Amino acid sequence: MSGSGTVVDGATASQSETEGTVLMQTQQPGLSNTRTYGSTEDSHISTSTDNDGDQNTCHVDVENGDDIKYRSCCESTTRCCCLPCSMGVAICTGLCGCYKYNKSVSNRRLETTRRTLRAGSKNLPRVVPIIRLMTDRAVPTWLPCVPGGARVRRTRLTDATIASGNSTLPPLCGKWAYPRSRCSVADALRDPDGTGARFVLYLHGGAFALCKPQTMHDIIIRYALTVDAYVLCIDYRRPPAHKHPVALNDCVFAYQWLLRQVPAHRIVIAGESAGGGLASMTLSTIVGLGLPVPCGAALVSPWVDLSDTHSASFAANAAYDYLPVDMIRMFAAMYAGKPADPTASAKNHSLEGFPPVFLQAGGSEVLLSQIEAFHQQLRDAGVHVEFDKAEGMMHVSPLFAITQAAGPTQGLSRICDFLSNRLSNIPLPSASGTRASPSTSDVGDVSFNAHSDV
């Protein structure tokens, strides 16, 4: 499989007259006989070229754009003996020496993780409580692969500074991550200017319905250490119990709670996947309410169009990315209804008045087309935007910096450099058609009833 996730059509395999499972063999120049097991209906033999020029032959499900289901042998004298299943392929990636990948951006740990996620996302039942057993688990901060030097603390954003109008609501919870060299969160909030504190409001992804702040321990620690900031990851309410716009209201509430104690020029917003869409809609709501905007925003693989599952990148990158289309549709309907409420998609909100934005997308992710279109929308709205297309990377690749692969690590570094520069008030590079940074004055008397059930 190539690093870009592109599959080139090859010769069509002859079908057996008998139905059911058959054995297909193909012979290509420079390759040994490759055996694939499976039904011949709606399938064909395809070849893909790796970045290093090697070719692999594999069985691809044409009808649903499924992943390479069965392991193919390369020119190595070592032959794979995996079971003919997608999980077997994932195990083979981690243990076998004949698997090919782009070593300039990936490594064996990243490829094993990606293929395991693909296998899991296909085989898990489409039942939210069961999926959450996997996605809501905490990443232990004591793991050797998680950076040290940071503290992680639970927090509750109470209604002491912003009246919610509904005393029966539970307080909005979350997690703080900050460098050990910094003072406590309470001291930083009490005197942000005196302590030089910088803050990142981080909105996690997970298709609106999955993941929790504890799932993001590794990434928020990396943000905290690299940006030298206090990172607040909130636990916004999720569907199916809470549909749009409840999650958005929680995000705006969290920003206003933070803004009551910290000037806007010391705050940036970051979000990935569904959290990236929420971050964009939060900025739109902030501008609409006349609140001071943060000094910058980072949107990583943002899910900005919930009605899109047919754009070009879904077809081109389905064989590489780990997001199954049926699951995307399921969570979109769960959060925004069916058909999707247009106001649940960030692309349908006004982008006027946004602060400088760092927009990142994986070059081999299924959401690439809608992110590129969103990039153009930001430019048309006069927003200063830096677009980073990480070639060969899947959806939200910085989350996998834990694998120490070059692609995710470098992508995360570029995001953190942008946020650090914005918090340090470093002048932006000149660009035509950009808008100056909005005012960073204090919040004043503006209030918003965000933490509500509506």
- Catalytic status, residue 447: no
Q: In what order do the strands lie in the sheet with 8-9?
A: 8-9, 43-49, 55-61
Compute how many other C-beta atoms are within 10 angstroms of the C-beta atom of residue 197: 22
- Catalytic residue chosen out of the listed positions 4, 272, 365, 384: 365
Q: How far apart are CA 38 and CA 4, in angstroms?
A: 26
**Is 104 noted as a catalytic residue in this protein?**
no
Within 10 Å of residue 334's Cβ, how many Cβ atoms? 18
Distance CA 398, CA 408 (A): 4
Catalytic residue among 217, 349, 375, 395: 395
Single out the residue of 29, 214, 24 nearest to residue 135, CA to CA.
214
Residue 345 near residue 307 (C-beta atoms within 8 A): yes
Q: What type of residue sits at position 285?
A: T
Catalytic pick among 121, 273, 280, 345: 273
326: left (phi over 0), alpha (psi -120 to 50) or beta: alpha
Calpha distance 321→326 (Å, rounded):
14
- Long-range contacts of the stretch 28-32 (C-beta < 8 A, 24+): 28/55, 28/57, 30/55, 30/75, 31/55, 31/57, 31/74, 31/75, 32/73, 32/75
The total of other beta-carbon atoms located within 10 Å of residue 262's CB is: 22
- The answer to whether residue 273 is catalytic is yes
d(CA 357, CA 300): 10
Please identify every residue annotated as catalytic. Answer: 273, 365, 395
